[in-house]
Structure formats: structure tokens, C-alpha cells
Amino acid sequence: MDSPVVLLSGCVGFGEEYTRVAGFSNRDVGAICLKGTTLAPRLGNPAHRVYETTAGMLNSIGLQNPGAKHVVERILPALDFSETRFIANLSGSSVQEYAAVTELFDDSPIDAMEINISCPNVHQGGMIFGNDPHMCARVVEACRAKTRKPLIVKLSPNQTDIAESARRVIEAGADGLAVVNTFMGMAIDIDNRRPVIGQNTAGLSGPAIKPMALLKVHQVYQVARHHQVPIIGQGGIVSGTDALEFIIAGASAVGVGTALFYEPLVCKSINAQIDQYLTEAGLNSVSELTGTLELNAPPVALLKEVAQ
């Protein structure tokens, strides 16, 4: 990619929305993740679907999209693949649906596919695929069998052991990991004592989740580095400093989403700040900075040091 900055799925529609913003260019970003796509068209969830919170945003869109066939046949041909990389975002309500959507995108010019496993499994009582390492692996295995294109798995933070899920999906054929998806949250209207979001709960994004997302990247990197699997770090990035933290923690690229809603041109400044940091540090590329975090010594080690 020409830039380590990736525009996240759901925040830029199908890639053409931000081209209408004066000063924005697809050439400023390394890749664009298209809106989540399912096999059949979906209308999405009832209103309200988006709500601003302190230092963040709740969203429960419900994967509104025109269906994979429409995206492949009508939308992708209109995109300029010479400007940047385009990544399809795949969702499904069963393992079979994930495989079917993957097969449709395999016969397309898309550069890679991102598997959104934070979806309910209709065959197992609505349990979220991404919260169970075994189900995560099954989805990736099914998708891997349908394509030779790069597969990026978008991991859910709402699970017990995200590092174990990372290990399982890598073994199942993942070429990259996106860390992390939104954290579950809620907002309440105190006047009528009901949830603000029509679906009651929603995904929380924005600066509020950055410290937690940063930790998840660090945890996943401990697994991913042994397999040389790159990570797109994401969750509350609004500046070059934020991006650099994720890279140092183990990310090879960084995803920007919520920040685009209030500063559509934020990617320019993030790129500039990363460039400046690399120059001042005497580094030639982002890859030289990835995973260079040095942890503080644990208390026991410090005591031994003092004793000596």
C-alpha cells in the first residue's frame, strides 16, 4: 500500500462518498474497506441507528446493503482501482453464506476481502461468530476454500481470549487481521427510560475505545508475529500520534473510521505526522517501527535490580 492508513468499513460507504469532499483523494490512503456486504440485500435495523456519546459513537446499522451480486456487478466496475486498494467486507448469518459471498467476490477485481465475524449465527441461537474461536476458524476455513485472494479477519473485542481467536483464524488460512471491531455499548433516553438505539445495544467506536483497542493489538501481535501475519490496528485513531501507538504495539497499518465523520481530511495529517516521526527516528518505513514496543520491567524484576 502507498500509505499505512486504511478507511474502515461502514464509514465510507462503497468508496465513492468521500470523493465528493473537497480536498479528499483516494490516493491519500492505502486502502478502502467497502461497506459490509451480505449475500442478499438488507434494509438494516430500525432507527435510531447512530448516536454520539462522550468521546465516541454508537452505531447499529444492521448491515444495510444492496447484496453481494449488485456490489460486484454494479459498484465495483465504477471504482478506480488505480488510485488505491479496495477491500470488500463480507458478512453472513451462516458459514455457508460467508462462503457464498466470498465466491462471488473471488471473481471480481477486489484486492482483498475482510471477513466481519461479528455477526449472529442463525443456526446456533444468534450466537456471535466472532465470540467463539472455533466458529471463527470454521468461517475462515469456508471462505479460504472459495478464494485465493488475501483474507483479512476482523476480530471482535467482545470475547474472552482474542489472542486464541487470532491463532485459530491464522491456522485456518487468514492472511491478515483487523484489530478490533467495535465494543458493545448502550445509551439511555432518561425521559422515556428506553434505549436510544432502536436495537437496544450498539457498537461503540471513537477515541473512547482507543486504550482498550491498543491493548488488543498488543495481545494479538504476540501471536501474529510468529506467523508473520500483518495487523490493521484500529479503534479511536484521530491523529498521527494515535496511529504511531498502534504501529509500535504491533500494527502494520492503521484503520480510521469515526474520525472521518468530523474531519474528512484527517488522513492527510495522519500521513504527515507518521512521515515526520519516521524521519526524525531515522527509520525508512513503517515496517521498521511495527512491534517495537518495549514493556516496562515487572515489579519483581525491579526489586531484584534494586537488591543487586
CA–CA separation, 254 vs 232, rounded Å? 5
Cβ-based neighbour number of residue 299 at 10 Å: 8
**What SS3 state is found at 53?**
strand
What are residue 87's DSSP bridge partners?
A: 33, 112
Catalytic residue among 119, 136, 143, 267: 119
> What whole-number distance in Å separates Cα of residue 283 and Cα of residue 170?
29
Bond from prior residue into 169 cis (ω within 30 degrees of 0)? no
**DSSP letter string, 62-122:** ---B--HHHIIIIIGGGS-TTTSEEEEEE--SSHHHHHHHHHHHHTSS-SEEEEE--SEEG
Rg (CA), the chain: 19
**What contacts 277, CB < 8 A, 6 or more positions away?**
240, 244
The cell numbers describing 75, all together, are 459498484
- What is the distance between the alpha carbons of residues 144 and 151, in angstroms, rounded to a whole number? 7
Assess whether 119 carries a catalytic annotation.
yes
Pairing of strands 5-7, 31-37: parallel
The DSSP bridge partners found for residue 33 are 87
Residue 129 φ/ψ, nearest 5 degrees: -50, -45
CA atoms within 13 A on the CB side of 50: 10
Q: Which residues are catalytic?
A: 119
